[in-house]
Structure 1
């Protein structure tokens, strides 16, 4: 009785009782065989379903892997990547493969691992110098584009960034945070006495609306203006391109003076003592000066005096002679004199 679990067997015994044990065993065997057959059929059906589901999973897994490889290959071909780190990329002044060739020996470059896709599907005609493997070209490598952008934002590739637009557009907010002021002037500009100092400071401190510029008509005949130019003859024995200083020869106090440097940043005209002594001019003609000159190091140089001398530039008919106030400076120099803004404005 324990071997037959089908309830229909018990129901048949209630409905049709058996008279002998032989009939009972015959009926129980019949129901037992039927139950065993049913269990075998259900087991076979479960095995079939399990095999079918397992096969489906393997097919789906293989298909998903294939689709992933195909997607990776398509992304490699197109140079696109869905999960980029940056939304915008800096414009370069050269191709990214050239940038890589110039920075590959630098220690700050982060190199990637080998490609993980199926080598059988790679395009062996294309090679990436960043991945050091075949499959796509260096110019189409989005990993390299990401690395270059990272280095650019760290400020390591400034020389490779394309310069476009104004300074404000390239660097953002460049509004000054501080002001650095300086006044450079000499006796020629505002005098050498305390009263001259006070008058000069008051004049530059007044509002712009209170400063009036009155143009007085000159009684002298209007000078003809000439164009100053340099010819190939002037450029002889000069190696180009050059950043040589402008050194000229002029006539000072009827003496031909060589090695005179033009300095538009100087607010005074200077004549060094080694040149002044050769002119045989009496020192008694020097006027005293109380305003020192300031060195780059902060030290002061007190001129030996100031003197007005004639200065002639050019040759007839294109010649000009003016009176210039020279500061006499006792300092060694490779030049004999310095022509600053005061004399240049007179010529």
Structure 2
């Protein structure tokens, strides 16, 4: 029998079963031999568990594998997703090579790695601004291309460090001349100069003079055109509907926007290519169930942005871009250094200009079990007060190929397995609307607690891996129950039930079950100023059904 590393009760139990099955494929064996060979692959706690198995309790190797995996499921290593790479950042003293090696090790743990998500995660996690700028200007098509480009910046980083060490060791604080470099240092210098000329680190000293002359010429041309701009001032971005500006399908230049506007007027030429979809996205009476009418509420949904579940995401087809508000961006654990710089603003009503702090690409998932879809969206981060966490504009709507309906409060989208839908939260939409109309100017700070806690959404909660059965703890109060696994053996289930019922005093049901705790921790007090004169309010009248509920 081939040598197999013994399993001691830690790690993935299914890997031990697969390793044994693959090793025994070299020669034909039956289930009996597999079962006899299985304890040879165990040690420690796992071996003790096997020795305690009741006689004649295992019939086949499949039964033994299932019982084994179920016993050690608590130490099972769960698979990671591509979105988990978004939390890997380069340390302050970590070199680019060390960061790339650590990132690659984590990426190998993802079974179905999405190269696009991995490349964006690596770009946002690195602290090398020149490397990040290169990836932004010329995005690589694969991880192989990204690693080849990273290798060049690693060589430059290590070369710069070596030069700095040499300068410190010789004690020479002045810059070396070309004659003082030895052959090896001169080769490193030539390599750095080559990368500078290719635009990796901005302009080289030799090209700075020519670039300065060109900038002077451009500045004189701008001065000649300045008077015309003063006579007819124009905003730097187009004003369309509610939120507009920033890079869209129309482009960023005036000529591209004019061509984009003329394109729909043309009747000559072939129709533009587009992806085909055979799914019909339909809305009907079933979509209206549970809604309160009359209503003109906005479509507010819950989605997953950057591996974080978010409530209060507004779906707005009047916005040309996707917006992520800065306070939300900070709460996600990011910082401004991870933003792609941007100097073009966005515009709203009456040409109101909002400065964009930067852009960031994040994976966004919308789902309604079992249908889900994920797309990479380019969010514009804005410092502005809002009752929403994010706004999904037309770019996000078109990326998902979704069809939103504010009347039905439903967002429908195609998936590989059929048509998925996400229902809007009418309660959340109205609470955001009421908060936005507060006259005291603090509406972005005063939001209902239930709109800030994603745990009330049952779909986002973790579910037990096995079936559970209730166990009554108090025969006088049937509502006091706890739960244990349904598939436990009858003797073990009886012993566990007796143990829980004998020690039912450790469970807390009300505040009276917690003696010894300081009352100030659980006592509700009214924030009333006793020096103020009490004012009697007028009696309020209620509808009969509400009055009955109050009583």
TM-score, L = length of structure 1? 0.40
TM-score, L = length of structure 2? 0.26
Question: Which structure shows the bigger proportion of residues in helix conformation?
Answer: 2
Higher relative contact order (CA 8 A, sep 6+): 1
